[in-house]
């Protein structure tokens, strides 16, 4: 059985991009693979976040992972900071990756350009992400398109480590969905929908109520034409709506485009399709939120299971690099 690993930051409310780019593919992967999914709270520290908010969002994020359908009896579901090997291996990988490699990461460049204080952790974040993945000897990492570059770095670091210190890590590959891999902001379709960007009308939350989803989709920015066509470069707003219709209904983007003579009906159908897709997740999240004690218990059991795999991988990597055993 192949192994999959992926994580999500508790840095804000989960949105439609997270759902179609990652979470629903995690749920689909859980029965075919040995699966590890985690709330990457350490990554959330790379940008400003209030400590109380981080604590609350970490638990809420776990609720969302259960709500999208992850079965804690089937997958190993945990919080990154509960497994100390993540930061321990990250250091070994920071000493394997180069400054040049980390400087080329576009997410770092974009986020650094936004903030006044750029934390060292924002720069070294891809090494921590590599550690997250390599600890579990993951074969595949189901992620959205924005994570491709980090995955390439993870592969490069794993290959370099194996060549220099001996075979230690499985070299993973990204599993990026065909449609919905980069859901764009509804108001700024040239940018991806993101938790860390303040764009309330451009971001559809997984927990938004149906009226809110409809309002946001109906006001989505399109273009000055009226022609419905799939052309992400020249018609990013319309193409984004067609992608959403494709993922929510299973129809192809070209076929969907051919069905519409104008933007109004397209938006109305996208809104209804997205509402229907998110309805069961929203319902389950509301139910789970009433028993947070049980969620904490599941996370604690998940961390114990994760450690059983993470500890030997870390020990092997440390020994390979020449660190003596305690």
Q: Which residues are catalytic?
A: 111, 192, 195
Q: Among residues 18 and 154, whose Cβ is nearest to ligand AQP?
A: 18
Distance in Å, CB of 197 to ligand AQP, minimum: 6
Distance in Å, CB of 322 to ligand AQP, minimum: 33
| Chain-centroid distance, C-alpha 273 | 22
Residues of the shown chain interacting with ligand AQP in the complex, contacts defined by CB under 6 A? 8-9, 11-12, 17-18, 21-22, 107, 143-144, 146-147, 181-183, 192-196
Q: Show Cβ contacts of residue 44 under 8 Å, excluding neighbours closer than 6 positions.
A: 9, 10, 11, 54, 57
Q: Among residues 76 and 168, whose Cβ is nearest to ligand AQP?
A: 76
d(CA 28, CA 70): 9
Distance in Å, CB of 194 to ligand AQP, minimum: 4
Which residue's C-beta sits nearest to ligand AQP? Answer: 21
Q: Among residues 107 and 187, whose Cβ is nearest to ligand AQP?
A: 107
d(CA 69, CA 66): 5
Nearest to 47, CA basis, from 80, 73, 10: 10
Nearest to 161, CA basis, from 103, 93, 86: 93
Q: In what order do the strands lie in the sheet with 140-142?
A: 76-79, 34-39, 3-8, 140-142, 173-175
Q: Among residues 108 and 260, whose Cβ is nearest to ligand AQP?
A: 108
Distance in Å, CB of 164 to ligand AQP, minimum: 29
Distance in Å, CB of 179 to ligand AQP, minimum: 10
Distance in Å, CB of 282 to ligand AQP, minimum: 18
Q: Among residues 162 and 196, whose Cβ is nearest to ligand AQP?
A: 196
Q: Among residues 33 and 182, whose Cβ is nearest to ligand AQP?
A: 182
């Amino acid at each position: 059985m192949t192994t999959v690993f992926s994580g999500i930051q508790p840095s804000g409310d989960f949105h439609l991009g997270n759902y179609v780019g990652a979470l629903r593919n995690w749920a689909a992967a859980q029965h075919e693979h040995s699966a590890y999914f985690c709330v990457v709270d350490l990554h959330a520290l790379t940008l400003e976040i209030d400590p109380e908010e981080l604590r609350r969002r970490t638990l809420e994020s776990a609720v969302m992972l259960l709500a999208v359908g992850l079965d804690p009896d089937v997958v190993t579901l945990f919080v990154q900071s509960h497994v100390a090997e993540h930061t321990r291996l990250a250091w070994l990988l920071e000493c394997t990756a180069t400054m040049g490699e980390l400087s080329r990461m576009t997410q770092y460049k974009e986020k650094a350009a936004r903030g006044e204080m750029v934390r060292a952790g924002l720069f070294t974040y891809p090494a921590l992400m590599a550690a997250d993945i390599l600890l579990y000897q993951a074969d595949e990492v189901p992620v959205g398109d924005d994570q491709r570059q980090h995955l390439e770095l993870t592969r490069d670091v794993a290959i370099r480590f194996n060549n220099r210190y001996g075979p230690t890590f499985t070299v993973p590959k990204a599993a990026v969905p065909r449609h919905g891999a980069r859901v764009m902001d509804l108001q700024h379709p040239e940018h991806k929908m993101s938790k860390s960007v303040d764009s309330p009308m451009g971001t559809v939350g997984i927990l938004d109520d149906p009226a809110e989803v409809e309002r946001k989709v109906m006001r989505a920015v399109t273009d000055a034409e009226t022609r419905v066509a799939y052309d992400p470069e020249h018609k990013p707003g319309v193409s984004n709506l067609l992608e959403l219709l494709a993922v929510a209904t299973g129809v192809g983007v070209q076929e969907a485009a051919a069905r519409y003579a104008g933007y109004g009906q397209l938006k109305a159908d996208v809104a209804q399709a997205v509402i229907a897709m998110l309805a069961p997740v929203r319902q389950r999240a509301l139910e789970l939120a009433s028993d947070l004690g049980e969620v904490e218990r599941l996370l604690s059991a998940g961390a114990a299971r994760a450690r059983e795999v993470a500890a030997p991988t870390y020990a092997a990597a440390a020994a390979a690099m020449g660190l003596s055993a305690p």
